[in-house]
Structure formats: C-alpha cells, structure tokens
Chain A
C-alpha cells in the first residue's frame, strides 16, 4: 500500500480551501501557495512514477479489505499508466500556475482563480486514481464544474457564450455517463472496475454490452471532444484565459476523456471487434476533420484548439488499432507497438500543446490581439516566445529531433505493420497539413513585416511566463528520449503491459 496516494486529492482540495480563507488577509498568499502545492504534487508524482515500475499499488480508504474477493470500499489504484498521467497533470499544472503569476494579475479576484485551479487539479487526479465508477463520476464533475467557471473567468460576451455551450454539452455527457453506470450496476451489482471485470468475464449478453459501451463511449467522447462531439471545444478552449486553455487542452481532455476510455475498454470490458473498429473510425475522423477545420482559422487559439482535436485523433486511432488486433487475438507485438505509440503521443501532446497555448497567451499579453492578420515581426521583439513556439510548432508537425516526430513515427509504423495502409497514409498526410498550418502561424506571427503601429511598443513577457515556456520547450526535447530502447522499456512498456493484461490490474484489487 502506497501511503502517498490520497495526498494527490486531499492536498489540492485543502489548498483550495486555505486559499479562499487565508488569501483574503495575506496579500500574494494565493499565487505562492498554489505554486507550492503544485510543486509538491509534481515531486510526489515523479516519486510514484519511479517507484511504481511494474507493480500496482492500491489504497483502501478506511482500511476495508475485500470480503470473499469482492471489494467493498473506496479504492484508489496507482499503476504505471496512472503514474504517467499524474506526472503530466501535475507538471503542466505547476508550469501553468507559475505562468499565471504574471498573466492573471490583469484580472480581478485572483483568489477564486487559484482556488478553482486547485479544485480542477484535485478532480483530475481523483479521476485518474479512482478504481471505481462512482468516484470517477464524482471527481469528473468536480473537475468539470471548476473548468466551467474557469472558462468564464473573463466574464465578457464570448467567454459566457462559450461556457454556456460547454456546460450544456458537459451536462449531456454526465447524463450519458450516469446512464452507462446505471446499466452496468443493473447487470453487475457492483461499481468497482476490477470487480465488474470479474463479473463480466463469467459470461454476458452481447447486445446489452454494446449499449453500455456506446453510452460510456459517447459520454467520455464528449469530454474528450472526439469528432462528432467536438462542438464545444474550439469555443471553450479559445475563450478561457491562456493558462487554463493550456490545462484544458493539454490535460483535461486526456485525463477525463481519453484516459478513462482507455482504462475502461482495456481493464473493464472484454474488447469486442465492433467497438474497436468504431473507436478507430472515430479517431481517424477526428484526425482528418480536425486538421481541415484548423487550417482556415486566423484566431491563434481557435487554430490550436482545432489541432487538439486532430492530435487526439492520432491517439484514439492508434489505441483503436491496438484494440482491433487484441480483439482478433493476433499479432500481439504489433498491438503493443500501436498502444505504445498512442500513449507516447498523449504524453507528447500534453507538452507541446500546452506550450503553444502559453505562447498564444504571451502574444496576447504583449500585443493585445489573437488575430494572426494583425501581428507580425514579433521574432525581434519577443525572442523567447518566438524560439519556444518554434520548438512547439516543429514538435506538433513531427519534425525530428523533436518529440512529436518519434510518436507519429511509431504510430505510422504500427499502422503499416498491422496492414492498415490507408490509416498510415492518412496519418502522414495529416502531419504534413499540420506542418503547413503551423508554418502559417510562425510566418504571420513572428516573421512577417509588422503592421507598423505596434513596432516599438511590444515587449517580451515577464520572467515567470518565460520560465514556464522555456521549461516546457526543454521538456519537448527531452521527451524524444522516451523513443529510444532502454528508456522506452522503463517508462512505456509497463503501461502497455498493464493494459494488455487486465488480470494484472484486477488481481491486486480483488486479491484473487
């Protein structure tokens, strides 16, 4: 039993409370305390990443042991997949808070911002850690409600409209998830993921299962903005304050969307070929349609938001290819490679997409506009922003030696080896269109002649913002190391092991 596990949820929850109570009396308490909390979470999440390795550690709230192999209490489970996602959440969260120290000082009521930020981190950590559907639902709502409020933080026309759309679709997603959970409970009489796995493996009704899987896929797909459910994402992500856009795009859609889909389909359901094909199709559609919607955008943050849909498409498609092969029971090593590629791209996307949103925020901070047409010549006046955004743009378009290249390469190799030649071609083509779109961003924002009036007034952003952006661009470079043998086996292989072998996950919880 790992005693650190409950701290991931309790520390940010307590922090949110303390910020609201004490932040009123002590000036600057909120920003430094929030950074301290997130720094602590980063340290313990990296400690868990190192110490977890192949194992699964379970925290049983209240010390309730399973009775006759049936888990009866709140269980929090930490395995290698969880540890990696926790590292992403807390690291990006920490850098966003550092960035916010300068960025949010323009807004009023900073206390609310930092308190809601801590709540959102607590919710996401809870979703990732919890071992039953009840807690996944509760923590999902905690992170969702705080993100609704944070999207509307500017309280102007656009922000309010975006958050209304986001809330209506978010509520629909919650209802679908709740119906899915209800149908699972009806059939299995339990909500613990490992226990449901045990019940379902002893035989089930096929069409009933399709109903449950479709409900959960559409619910969590709405949270993850896979293509038929993507309508809220560009509005919400472009209207939020930039550090929040970085959190939403870099972390939230993964932690409460993709992560839960992968976890439930691999560790709870027996994968059926029909669902696997459906998931692959949705992923491919997001990948292709997302990039075509992105290419015509002139608002930087909308452009980046559409690219989030497209890049998440890569992750879903790659994991879907792995699921198809697993369901057919053939070519185990290719399936492993595809899933590795998907998880690797998920990690990389967190790094470069949050960096891009922070860059967009820096440009908006200095020039006061998000329209690409009105910028130009920023490379001279904002050297740090220009350099870091170049790193991020090259990463997302898949140029070596940056991290995006290696994950896309693994995905394409896996698709070719699995004989999905069409998907491999589409992945390569989408990558080229992404490159075109980011060259447009680079050229219009940084290298064109400036439109004159803001030539001399534009200055580089303050130090905390530069600090976050530089650290993230270094992370972008370092993550490419994960592709190499040795490091890959240490970090990514345990993840695929736990996903490919569900008994490993459930045996630790039920004790059988």
Chain B
C-alpha cells in the first residue's frame, strides 16, 4: 500500500507545482512529474509477484505469467507524453519570443 501512497504523493507534488509556479518551464516540469506518477501507478498495478514473461510454455501449466497489457499501455503513454512535452516546450519557446518573459502573470491577453 505504501508504494501507491508514494505514487499519489508524487502526483500531488506535480499538482502543487502546476498551481503555484509562475514560470512556464516549471509548469511544464510539474506536468511531467504528474504524468510520470500516472505511469508509475499503472506499472505498479501490473506487477505480479514472481511472474514470468508472458511466453506461454505448455510443459509447465502452473507457471505464473505477467499480463503484458499495462506495460504496453505505459510504453505507449510514455511516447505520447514525449510528444506532448515537446509540443508544450515548442509553444513555451514561441511564447518567450513574443512576450520576452516566462512569467505567466504577464501573459494574459485573453480575458472575458
């Protein structure tokens, strides 16, 4: 149970960063922390004590296997996360060029 709790604390750390930080890059980093707490949680759920890789051996029917689904999903999600982080950083660089600052308080043209 402790690992899940630590995972949740990691998520809250990221959330705290997103809410309190004013620097765009720090917000992006906090989002990455939240993202990886999700991945960690999913990988932990898929963990099987003493499980083997899911290549079924018909000679040994009692053997315990790991479900490959969580690993597959987490790997896919990591790749997606890379794409979104790259996209976010590209937008941040463009914002810096337009506004000359990373401070979110000074980037507020849109209102209402």
Contacts and interface: CB of A to CB of B under 8 A. Distances in A.
A200 interface: no
A158 B77 CA distance: 30
Interface string B36-59: 001001100110000000000000
Interface in B1-54: 11, 18, 24, 27, 31, 34-35, 38, 41-42, 45-46
A239 B94 CA distance: 16
Contact of A186 (B45, B83, B108, B110): B45
Contact of A168 (B18, B69, B73, B95): B18
Given A149-B87, A167-B87, A167-B88, A161 B108 contact: yes
A235 B76 CA distance: 30
A458 B20 CA distance: 48
Interface string B78-109: 00100110011001101100110000000111
A155 B93 CA distance: 11
A33 interface: no
A294 to B, nearest CB: 11
Interface in A171-187: 171-172, 174-175, 178-179, 181-182, 185-186
A145 interface: yes
Contacts of A181: 42, 73
Tell which of A138, A165, A174, A182 has the most Cβ of chain B within 10 Å: A182
B45 A185 contact: yes
Contact of A178 (B27, B38, B72): B38
Given A171-B35, A171-B84, A178 B95 contact: no
Given A138-B76, A161-B108, A179 B41 contact: yes
B20 to A, nearest CB: 14
A160 B76 contact: no
Contact of B94 (A155, A174, A178, A179): A155
B37 to A, nearest CB: 8
Interface string A122-135: 00000000000010
A158 B109 CA distance: 6
B61 interface: no
Contacts of A110: none
A185 B41 contact: no
Contacts of A296: 112
Nearest to A151: B91
Contacts of A189: 67
A160 B95 contact: yes
A152 B42 contact: no
A406 interface: no
Nearest to B73: A134
A236 to B, nearest CB: 10
A145 B83 contact: yes
Interface of B: 11, 18, 24, 27, 31, 34-35, 38, 41-42, 45-46, 67, 69-70, 72-73, 76-77, 80, 83-84, 87-88, 91-92, 94-95, 98-99, 107-110, 112
Interface of A: 134, 137-138, 141, 144-145, 148-149, 152, 155-158, 160-165, 167-168, 171-172, 174-175, 178-179, 181-182, 185-186, 189-191, 234-235, 239, 296-297, 302
5 contacts: A134-B76, A164-B24, A164-B107, A167-B88, A296-B112
Given A137-B73, A152-B91, 7 more contacts: A164-B91, A172-B34, A175-B11, A178-B38, A182-B38, A182-B42, A185-B45
